[in-house]
Amino acid sequence: SNSRAYSLVDSSQVSTFLISILLIVYGSFRSLNMDFENQDKEKDNSSAAGSFNGNSTNNSIQTIDSTQALFLPIGASVSLLVMFFFFDSVQVVFTICTAVLATIAFAFLLLPMCQYLTRPCSPQNKISFGCCGRFTAAELLSFSLSVMLVLIWVLTGHWLLMDALAMGLCVAMIAFVRLPSLKVSCLLLSGLLIYDVFWVFFSAYIFNSNVMVKVATQPADNPLDVLSRKLHLGPNVGRDVPRLSLPGKLVFPSSTGSHFSMLGIGDIVMPGLLLCFVLRYDNYKKQANSDSCGAPGPGNISGRMQKVSYFHCTLIGYFVGLLTATVASRIHRAAQPALLYLVPFTLLPLLTMAYLKGDLRRMWSEPFHSKSSSSRFLEV
């Protein structure tokens, strides 16, 4: 049943908490390191020292503006309805697109490990592949491992491989998508909260079915099975491959193995974007304070509170919100919109602390501007 699929108990509850928090922390620090890399590249490419803008990164990074934040829940709703009404028609295309994106995202997740492994035995020179581009040995190794994992997932459909691909998608989205200000963060998360609550609690009154739960739990036909039927390869070719549960969620079995817990990657990525924003702001503020010789904060704020970072405050709020969603799921024995609990427990403490520290106006609308200074790469 859907309620059993969403219940979080025993080891699955602990696994969900730990994995989601680790993904957010890892994705946020990867994003910050990408800022450092872009800053160093700008130093190398320009002889004149310029100011560092946290939003001016390379073309692969997407910054969400206010208009996109307002329309993203609407676009997500349209996509959800398309999957609800026309899933049988688009499931193969959707599965292939998801597999391609998961391959690239998991390669990005494995890249630091591959760089560490290949550093002693090979130079970091890039190998040319013609029109495909130039790649290092570490990039080729991470991509090869990612392709291998996706192929094994297609053949077996194992939940652990699906979780690995979902983890790659989470880290890549947190690292490559940016929220430029607290205003955009509030618009995006508030809109997604309404979106999540409506499709979980009220969609059944209109469509006679819980749209969110049905789309999230509906397996898709295996592309190998579809290909064998189209090509008439025989009754035994491709028929033993399982249907695929797409990597749009994390699933963990309970200790008894009787049911799975489930957490959508949107419940990790969207709060993760907020944590990525506050981590970048903490770094910006630290650089600004060092440039101004450690100027103290407002006089009515204790020194202990000044030492508490926005990132730690928001991360604790995320954990408490996820714990509250778990308790609500067990009490009501039904699917719960996790953002209903995650958004207030992350945004409200952040807004309160920003107001008390006197940073609310700056975080609300001012972009990041920090003087060029020597940067250190963070060990993730």
Q: What is the pLDDT of residue 17?
A: 81
CB atoms within 10 A of CB 375: 18
Q: Which residues are catalytic?
A: 196, 267
pTM of this structure: 0.85
Q: What is the mean pLDDT of the chain?
A: 82
| Percent of the residues in the chain that have a pLDDT greater than 70, as a whole number | 80
More confident residue, 54 or 244: 244
pLDDT at 257: 61
pLDDT tens-digit map of 75-107:
999 999 999 999 888 888 888 999 999 999 999
pLDDT in tens, 10-43: 567 777 888 999 999 999 999 988 888 777 776 7
- Mean pLDDT for the stretch of residues 190-205: 92
pLDDT score at 328: 85
What pLDDT is attached to residue 55? 44
> What is the predicted pLDDT for the residue at 232?
67
Contacts 24+ apart (CB under 8 A), 58-61: 60/176, 61/34, 61/176, 61/177, 61/178
pLDDT score, position 124: 64
Closest CA to 162 of 174, 170, 154: 154
Q: Considering only 36-45, 108-117, 294-303, which range has the smallest mean pLDDT?
A: 294-303
State the amino acid at position 277 in one-letter form.
F
Q: Which residue has the higher pLDDT, 293 or 123?
A: 123
| Average pLDDT of span 324-329 | 85
**pLDDT tens for each residue of 132-167:** 778 888 889 999 999 999 999 999 988 899 999 999
Predicted pLDDT of residue 298:
52
What pLDDT does residue 292 have?
64
Which pLDDT score is estimated for 372?
44
Rounded average pLDDT over 115-137: 77
Tally of CB atoms within 10 A around 193: 21
> So where are the chain's domains?
9-43+60-288+302-365
pLDDT for 293 beyond 70: no
pLDDT value for 80: 92
pLDDT of the residue at 75: 94
Provide the pLDDT confidence category of residue 126 given band limits of 50, 70 and 90. Answer: confident
Tokens of 42: 């700008």
Say how many CA atoms lie within 13 Å of 231 toward its Cβ: 11
Render 291-358 in DSSP notation, one character per residue. Answer: HTTS----TTS-HHHHHS-HHHHHHHHHHHHHHHHHHHHHHHTS---THHHHHHHHHHHHHHHHHHHT
Residue 130 or residue 71, greater confidence: 71
**In sequence order, what E strands does the chain have?**
52-53, 62-63, 127-128, 134-135, 177-178, 249-253, 260-264, 369-370
Is pLDDT of 187 > 90? yes
Could you read off the pLDDT of 237-279 as tens digits, one per residue? Answer: 556 788 888 888 888 887 666 667 788 899 999 999 999 999 9
The DSSP output letter for 290 is: H
Query: Can you tell me the mean pLDDT for 50-67?
Result: 65
